[in-house]
């Protein structure tokens, strides 16, 4: 996680992807809290948003990360949506945040962590 504090640009994006993907697959609810200090560094929130949106598009399309051949568990989409809801809330885009958390709840209504974010 430490390299994400000082890497920039494409190197940051690659390192962030390598760090985030396994945690989304495992379903780590605290991922956003772990990465939230990066939002104070110029440009990193935009890179994270672009990265997570690409992952959402790929997982919701064929169930795989863009660079992998094996399918991810269905819960991966849930954790991507959970992250995006917190991301948009942090950026003040409350309508999008609410939409993402509602989508996550619709995906998995029994996910207790989802209701705490809503």
**To 10 degrees, what angle do helices 75-90 and 44-62 make?**
150
Task: Calculate ∠ Cα 5-6-9, nearest 5°.
Answer: 105
Gap between the Cα atoms of 58 and 43, Å rounded: 23
Q: What is the pLDDT of residue 67?
A: 85
Q: What is the pLDDT of residue 103?
A: 96
Helix (H) / strand (E) element for 61: namely helix 44-62
Give the residue extent of every domain in the chain: 3-117
pLDDT digits (tens, 9 = 90+) for 25-39: 999 999 999 999 999
Q: What is the pLDDT of residue 7?
A: 96
Cβ proximity of 98 and 81 under 8 Å:
no
Q: What's the predicted TM-score (pTM) here?
A: 0.94
Q: Which residues of the chain form beta strands (DSSP E)?
A: none
Q: What is the pLDDT of residue 31?
A: 98
- Residues of the chain short of pLDDT 70, as ranges, are none
Q: What is the pLDDT of residue 44?
A: 97
How high is the mean pLDDT of the chain?
96
């Amino acid at each position: 996680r430490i390299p994400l504090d000082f890497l920039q640009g494409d190197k940051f994006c690659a390192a962030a992807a390598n760090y985030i993907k396994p945690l989304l697959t495992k379903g780590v609810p605290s991922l956003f809290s772990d990465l939230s200090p990066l939002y104070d560094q110029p440009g990193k929130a935009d890179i994270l948003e672009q990265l997570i949106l690409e992952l959402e598009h790929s997982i919701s399309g064929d169930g795989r990360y863009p660079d992998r051949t094996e399918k991810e568990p269905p819960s991966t989409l849930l954790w991507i949506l959970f992250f995006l809801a917190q991301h948009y809330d942090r950026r003040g885009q409350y309508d999008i945040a609410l939409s993402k958390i509602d989508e996550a709840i619709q995906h998995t209504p029994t996910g207790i962590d989802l209701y705490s974010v809503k």
